[in-house]
Amino acid sequence: MRILVTGGAGYIGATAVDILLTQGFDVTVLDDCSTGHADSVPSQARFIEGSLLDAHTVREALTGASAVLHFAGKSLVGESVVKPDLYHEVNVHGTRILLEEMRTAAIQRIVFSSSAATYGEPVTTPILESAATSPTNPYGETKLAVDNILTQEGQLHGLGAISLRYFNVAGAHKSQRGWLPERHDTETHLIPNVLRSTPDKPVKIFGTDWSTVDGTCIRDYVHVVDLIDAHISALQKIQLGSHEVINLGSGRGYSVREVLSAASSALGHQIPAQDSSRRSGDPAVLLADIKKASTYLGWTPTRDLLAMVTDTAASFQLS
C-alpha cells in the first residue's frame, strides 16, 4: 500500500516516512523544501520536490497512492500574524488543490495534521474535541478552515478523513540513518531553546506570574514517535464518508520549569534561564483530553517528558 506523505521532508513528516517504510508501506513524499530538508527523505521513498499549489505536481505525487498523510503547510504562529495571506494560500488553498486531485484520482482517505490552535483560549481544561473552536491567530484559522472543508468533503463526496489536533510535539526519532531532528531557521519552541541555552544566551521563561503551580505556563507535550503511531492507527480507522477530529497530546501537563528540570537531568547540568515577561497570545494552560484517541484509535502515548528531552538532545548531538 502506497501512502503519499505531504511535507515528508519536515521534522514530523520525515519521522512518519521513516516509520511507514519500516512497517512495510510504500511511500511517496511531496515537499517544496521551503522549510523541510531534502536530505531527510530516505532513498527508499519516491520524492517529488514541488508545491501543493501546483495541481500537476500534486497529481503526479498521488500516482499509485491509496491514502494521504497531509503534513505540508506553514506552521509558525508568529509568522502567520504577519503573513496571514501566505498561510491561507498554502494551508487552505493548497489543501483544496490536494483534495480536488484526490477526488479525480479516486483516493478517498486522508489524515490531516490539525492543531490545538483551532481551539484558541481554552474555556475548560482539559480540552475535549467537542470544545468550541475560536482560533486566536491566522495559523489556527487555517487549520480550522481545513477541518471544516474535510467535514464537507465527507458529506458531499464520500471522503474519509481524520484530523489529528496536535498539542506540543517534541522529541525525535532515530532512523537507521541517524536522528531526524527538528530543524528550524527561527526556533521558537521551548524544548529546543532550553537545550541550546547558554550562560551568554539563556533561555527566557515567558511569564512567571501565571496562576499555575509554579507560575509558569503548562503545556501538553507528546513525543513525535507516539504522534506518528497515532497517524498509522488513524490510517486504518478511517471510515469513508465521515470526518473525525481527534486530539493528540499526552494528556499530561508540564510547566516550563518542569521542562527545564527534565533538561537539566538529560544534559547533566543546570540550564541557564532568565525570568522574562509573558509572550503575547500565550494561554496559561493547554492540556488535551485524549480519551477519544484511546477509544477511537486504540492509542496511548508511551514516552514521557524525560524521553522527549533526552531524544531531542541526542538529535541535536548534545548528549
Contacts to ligand UDP by CB under 6 A? 168, 188-190, 193, 203-206, 217, 219, 256, 279, 282
Residue 78: CB minimum distance to ligand UDP, A:
9
Cβ proximity of 52 and 112 under 8 Å: no
Nearer to ligand UDP, 190 or 234 (CB): 190
Place of cell 527534565: 262
Of 267, 166, 280, 270, which is closest to residue 219 (Cα–Cα)?
166
Q: Which class for 18: exposed (0-12), middle (13-18), buried (19 or more C-beta within 10 A)?
A: buried
Q: Which residues of 137-169 are buried (b: 16+ CB within 10 A; e: fewer)?
A: bbbbbbbbbbbebbbebbeeeebbbbbbbbbbb
Nearer to ligand UDP, 103 or 204 (CB): 204
Give the span between the Cα atoms of 177 and 142, in whole angstroms.
Answer: 34
The residue ranges of DSSP E strands in the chain, in sequence order, are 2-6, 26-31, 46-49, 67-70, 109-115, 160-166, 168-170, 173-175, 178-180, 203-206, 218-219, 221-223, 243-248, 254-255, 273-276
Residue 275: CB minimum distance to ligand UDP, A:
10
Q: Which three cell numbers stand for residue 241?
A: 464518508
Residue 220: CB minimum distance to ligand UDP, A:
9
Q: Which class for 119: exposed (0-12), middle (13-18), buried (19 or more C-beta within 10 A)?
A: buried
Residue 139: active-site member: yes
Nearer to ligand UDP, 206 or 296 (CB): 206
Nearer to ligand UDP, 67 or 263 (CB): 263
Nearer to ligand UDP, 173 or 219 (CB): 219
Residue 137: CB minimum distance to ligand UDP, A:
10
Q: Which three cell numbers stand for residue 227?
A: 504522534
Cβ proximity of 191 and 263 under 8 Å: yes
Residue 259: CB minimum distance to ligand UDP, A:
7
Residue 251: CB minimum distance to ligand UDP, A:
16
Give the number of other Cβ atoms within 10 Å of residue 209's Cβ: 10
Task: Say which of 139, 166, 221, 254 is annotated catalytic.
Answer: 139
Nearer to ligand UDP, 175 or 264 (CB): 264
Chain residue at closest Cβ approach to ligand UDP = 217
Residues with a known catalytic role:
139
